[in-house]
Amino acid sequence: MLKDLPLLVALGLFSAGAVAVWMAGGRLARDISDLAGRLGMSQGFAGMVILGGITSLPEIATAGSAALTGSPHLAITNLLGTGSVNILLLVVADLMIAGTALAALVRSSSVLLQGLLGMVLMTAAAVLVLIGDVEMASTGVGWGTTGLFVACAGAILLASRYEKHPGWTATGKQGQSERTAGPDESHASTLMLTLRVAGAGAVILVAGFVLSQTADGIAADTGIGTGLVGITLLALATSLPELSSIRTALAIKRYDLAVGDVLGTNLFNIAVLFVVDVAYRDGPAMAEPETFSGVAALLAVIMIGLYLAGQMARRAQTFLRLGLSSWAILGSYAGGLTLLWYIRP
């Protein structure tokens, strides 16, 4: 197993995986943006479904392997802890944009709906992990994770229908319309774009798995607690695809694509809790109540809410290159990590 490698070897593989994920994620955002334009799909929805789904592949590989090897709690902590780390990536994105807050540049109401649905589902996941799951008819799978999986599928379906008939559209001069944010710059065919997206997804899946496994080994060798591994080092490792794709999306002014990627990844991560439950065969993976993971999920809910508040307020002003919602997110993350440090298993 990669997690059993010597520390120096694990560090080398971690670095190589990070480079591979960074390069694949950067190309991926541009290709998906062009593909969405050709398919008549909004940038925000493409970010949620296609980009968010592909950049969730490392979490799927990590969670599945952890459950299969008898460590479902690490998988659950990683999935729920990544939710707050992903929102933190929007703060990094805010830092990359000079002079204007990112929340003022996102114009699609469907992105706002995605965030609200994510808050509802993340809250449900927090309640489930705090009270414990119940087995469904001797299947070894819990009612709660099954319900979350169905609810996530319903959320994606609802978002797809909403984008065809949005209730409102942002006005003002900040940013560009999500459907006119620059031309399709690719000369490749639609088939070639699809193949390139699939190839980048395969690289992210393999390299992301290497990242997560070596991060686990590095954390073990350095003596970091398992719970904090899931919400910091492991979550950061599996969030590298999102960071790379966000950077490219911002460079080509696809702001809705960048935010949709983050919010979509969070939705997919909640659905992956069902994958963990299926892979772990000693009963429901979330049968035992766990405070640490529940608090981690609630931290993500708070951070999503703060970002959505910033998007609704649409204040372009920044302080030290960050919008006010980004500063609020940073403060809540710091406070959440402090609390998690004291309640860590």
As a whole number, the mean pLDDT across the chain is: 78
pLDDT of 317 reads 76
174 lies in a domain? no
pLDDT of 227 > 70? The answer is no
Q: Which domain holds residue 59?
A: 2-167+188-343
Residue 311 sits in a domain whose CATH number is 1.20.1420.30
183 lies in a domain? no
319 lies in a domain? yes
237 lies in a domain? yes
pLDDT of 230 reads 45
200 lies in a domain? yes
pLDDT of 139 reads 80
Higher pLDDT, 199 or 223: 199
pLDDT of 175 reads 44
163-221 tens-digit pLDDT: 666 666 666 544 444 444 444 455 667 788 888 888 888 887 887 778 767 766 766 66
Give mean pLDDT, residues 75-79: 79
176 lies in a domain? no
180 lies in a domain? no
Give mean pLDDT, residues 129-141: 85
29-65 tens-digit pLDDT: 778 877 777 777 777 677 777 777 787 777 777 777 7
Question: What's the 3-state SS for the chain?
Answer: CHHHCCHHHHHHHHHHHHHHHHHHHHHHHHHHHHHHHHHCCCHHHHHHHHHHHHHCHHHHHHHHHHHHCCCHHHHHHHHHHHHHHHHHHHHHHHHHCCCCCHHHCCCCHHHHHHHHHHHHHHHHHHHHHHHCCCECCCCCCEHHHHHHHHHHHHHHHHHHHHHHCCCCCCCCCCCCCCCCCCCCCCCCCHHHHHHHHHHHHHHHHHHHHHHHHHHHHHHHHHCCCHHHHHHCHHHHHHCHHHHHHHHHHHHCCCHHHHHHHHHHHHHHHHHHHHHHHHHCCCCCCCCCCCHHHHHHHHHHHHHHHHHHHHHHHCCCCEECCEEHHHHHHHHHHHHHHHHHHHHCC
172 lies in a domain? no
Count: domains in the chain: 1
pLDDT of 198 reads 85
